[in-house]
Amino acid sequence: MSKDAMDRIVSLAKRKGFVFQSSEIYGGAASVWDYGPLGVELRRNVADAWWSAMVHARNDIEGLDAGILMHPRVWEASGHLSGFTDPLVECKRCKKRWRADHLEAGGLEDAGCPRKPSVAPGGHGDCELGEPRLFNLMFKTFMGPVEEDASVVYLRPETAQGSYVNFLNVQQTSRQRVPFGIAQVGKAFRNEITPGNFIFRTREFEQAEMQFFVRPGTDDEWFEYWRDERMKWHRELGIRAHKLRFHEHGPNELAHYAKTALDIEYEFPFGWQELEGVHNRTDFDLARHQEFSGKRLVYVDPAGAGRFLPYVVETAMGVGRAALVALVDGYREEEVQGQKRVVLGLNPKLAPVKAAVFPLMKKLGLPEIARRLQSELRSARIPAAYDQAGSIGRRYRRQDEAGTPWCVTVDGRTRDDDSVTIRDRDSLQQVRVGLGAVAGWIRERL
């Protein structure tokens, strides 16, 4: 898929109300995006699919929703205050900054020198690139009315720390035994130096993270288990297998907390990039919180199988990034009966609207029947749209672009035999189904 296709996906996302630029009427806020009516549903469906697989379908993972703001010592203990930094190179002439590792890798097609003519950083005769310097990626703010150093707090750059500091609270209240996990879905914030590629890298984003606490010595085994489970999840969601791959971190790529780590990568139109990370964080985080808080976080096995500080295997996915993968992977342009159509082939589970109901004509009582059907579907908790504007062909196209899997048409025959036509977005096949059976028919396929 070309970069050009990426532009078309971005334009579709805006046109259909998936994603808007934040504060657009003020000229936009850099690298923050607002999810519109379809986008918020898509993102929620991604998070729900994750929650259902990680929490509801298992006995060994509990949910948690920790605060975004935490005690500032958390970030000293976690190493984010000292270690969560990117080395940046600044041009003294134009003041633009680039990540040093991106400069080395030469991956700067979109982020070259801002001066004209457009060249690579340092390419003009009078460019003055400085030495790499470290910048912390955490957003700082103040707790309470007084802006002073004592009240500095940070917006969390990952949800994981909330799970570590609550490890014993969750373990004891849920009476879980190691191995078990804590899952969270929530916002994280990073003052990214080179955000971009639409919603791929943003400064405010949602994470779906799970921390799995295991007995030391079993961590490598669990790391492999979660690596395979997470890849399976993406594939089962319908993401094409040949667009997914593992990338193991070399020693220079490892985060400060990781013993081993790998990314599940997706081939975006702008290249192979991380979609999700799986990390063996050892007992780094728990040991540090124990040291900095002075509170023991040792696990005592209720069946007498020892006491120890667990190791942690983490799975960490960006929800917006997974939504972007669903958009990119599902986007198709094709020709049907001599006409071009754009389709978002989203997994029906992820589709924002599951069914659209159309009256064939705006008369003979067909709109009333269609409205009734829409409301029945909604009562059955199936998000359903209603559209009576324009030809049936145009209505199909509108829904194809939104990723709606099924369109239901109420026509003249409906009045005679209470049946409707359901048209499938991908196969284009049409079947006749009884009015009262539509909700069940859709539920079965979800």
**List of residues contacting ligand GAP (CB under 6 A):** 158, 160, 190, 192, 201-202, 205, 207, 209, 274-277, 314, 316-318, 320-321
User: Residue 129 or residue 193: which is nearer to ligand GAP going by CB?
Assistant: 193
User: Residue 265 or residue 401: which is nearer to ligand GAP going by CB?
Assistant: 265
Encode 383-424 in three state secondary structure. Answer: CEEECCCCCHHHHHHHHHHHCCCEEEEECHHHHHHCEEEEEE
Report the nearest approach of ligand GAP to the CB of residue 321 (Å).
Answer: 4
Report the nearest approach of ligand GAP to the CB of residue 72 (Å).
Answer: 18
Report the nearest approach of ligand GAP to the CB of residue 19 (Å).
Answer: 13
Report the nearest approach of ligand GAP to the CB of residue 239 (Å).
Answer: 14
Question: CB–CB of 376/443 below 8 Å?
Answer: no
User: Residue 113 or residue 313: which is nearer to ligand GAP going by CB?
Assistant: 313
Which 3 state secondary structure label does DSSP give 298?
A: coil
User: Residue 183 or residue 355: which is nearer to ligand GAP going by CB?
Assistant: 183
Q: C-alpha distances in angstroms, 250 versus 138, 162, 215, 262, 338?
A: 25, 28, 25, 9, 50
Report the nearest approach of ligand GAP to the CB of residue 107 (Å).
Answer: 16
DSSP at 14: H
Backbone φ and ψ for 283, nearest 5 degrees, come out as -100, 20
428, two tokens: 């284009």
109, two tokens: 């097609």
The upper half-sphere exposure of residue 207, i.e. CA atoms within 13 Å in the direction of its Cβ, equals 29
DSSP at 214: E
User: Residue 31 or residue 409: which is nearer to ligand GAP going by CB?
Assistant: 31
User: Residue 161 or residue 347: which is nearer to ligand GAP going by CB?
Assistant: 161
Report the nearest approach of ligand GAP to the CB of residue 274 (Å).
Answer: 5
Report the nearest approach of ligand GAP to the CB of residue 75 (Å).
Answer: 13
User: Residue 6 or residue 316: which is nearer to ligand GAP going by CB?
Assistant: 316
Cβ burial, residue 180 (10 Å; 0-12/13-18/19+): buried
Q: C-alpha distances in angstroms, 274 versus 248, 314, 316, 409?
A: 11, 15, 11, 41
Question: CB–CB of 237/230 below 8 Å?
Answer: no
The residue length of the chain stands at 446
Report the nearest approach of ligand GAP to the CB of residue 47 (Å).
Answer: 13
User: Residue 20 or residue 441: which is nearer to ligand GAP going by CB?
Assistant: 20
DSSP at 270: T
> CA angle 346-351-356, nearest 5°?
115
CA proximity to 374, closest of 405, 353, 344: 353
Report the nearest approach of ligand GAP to the CB of residue 204 (Å).
Answer: 8
Q: What torsion do the CA atoms of 272, 274, 277, 279 make, to the nearest 10 degrees?
A: 70
User: Residue 318 or residue 359: which is nearer to ligand GAP going by CB?
Assistant: 318
